[in-house]
């Protein structure tokens, strides 16, 4: 079984709909992240969470919200989806507590392809 799973893997929705993307991890990591990737571009950080009570905005958080329901679960919501939110979304985890040299190596899920019509 994969260590970092994302659901759904593909989603097509309409403008104005509320969408939730879910991420679960079995790695026992404390940190979790949400990124988006647009065609031909690198990944951009949306939100990150250092633990259940610590949520932080990334570089492109507008239009998104997150919830860290448990150490293993981190959800990304689009309250009112718009077409320019069409992208690949990746969840990632890292474990600073175990990373003694504090290099924040991140482990990524398989991604969710979201299309907003």
User: Is residue 51 a contact point for other proteins (CB under 8 A)?
Assistant: no
Q: Report DSSP letters for 45-112, one per residue.
A: EEEEEEETTEEEE-TT-TT-EEEEEETTEEEEEESS--GGG-EEEEEEEE-TTT-TT-----EE---E
Any idea which residue has 């994969």 for tokens? Answer: 2
Binding segment toward other proteins, per CB under 8 A, in 11-19, 34-42, 63-71, 79-87: 34-42
User: Is residue 43 a contact point for other proteins (CB under 8 A)?
Assistant: yes
* CB nearer other proteins, residue 20 or residue 45: 45
d(CA 84, CA 28): 33
Please state whether the peptide bond connecting residue 8 to the residue before it is cis, i.e. omega within 30 degrees of 0: yes
User: Is residue 52 a contact point for other proteins (CB under 8 A)?
Assistant: no
User: Is residue 108 a contact point for other proteins (CB under 8 A)?
Assistant: yes
Beta-strand relationship, 112-116 and 10-13: parallel
User: Is residue 50 a contact point for other proteins (CB under 8 A)?
Assistant: yes
* CB nearer other proteins, residue 48 or residue 64: 48
* CB nearer other proteins, residue 17 or residue 73: 73
Q: Which spans of this chain sit near other proteins (rule: CB under 8 A)?
A: 4, 31, 33, 35, 40-45, 48, 50, 56, 58, 90, 92, 96, 101-111
């Amino acid at each position: 079984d994969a260590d970092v799973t994302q659901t759904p893997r593909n989603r097509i929705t309409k403008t104005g709909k509320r969408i939730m993307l879910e991420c679960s991890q079995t790695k026992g990591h404390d940190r979790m992240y949400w990124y988006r990737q647009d065609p031909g571009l690198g990944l951009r950080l949306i939100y990150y969470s250092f633990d259940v009570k610590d949520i932080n905005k990334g570089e492109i958080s507008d239009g998104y919200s997150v919830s860290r329901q448990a150490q293993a679960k981190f959800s990304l919501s689009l309250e009112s989806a718009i077409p320019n939110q069409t992208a690949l979304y990746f969840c990632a985890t890292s474990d600073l507590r175990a990373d003694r040299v504090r290099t924040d190596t991140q482990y990524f899920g398989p991604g969710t392809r979201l299309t907003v019509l």
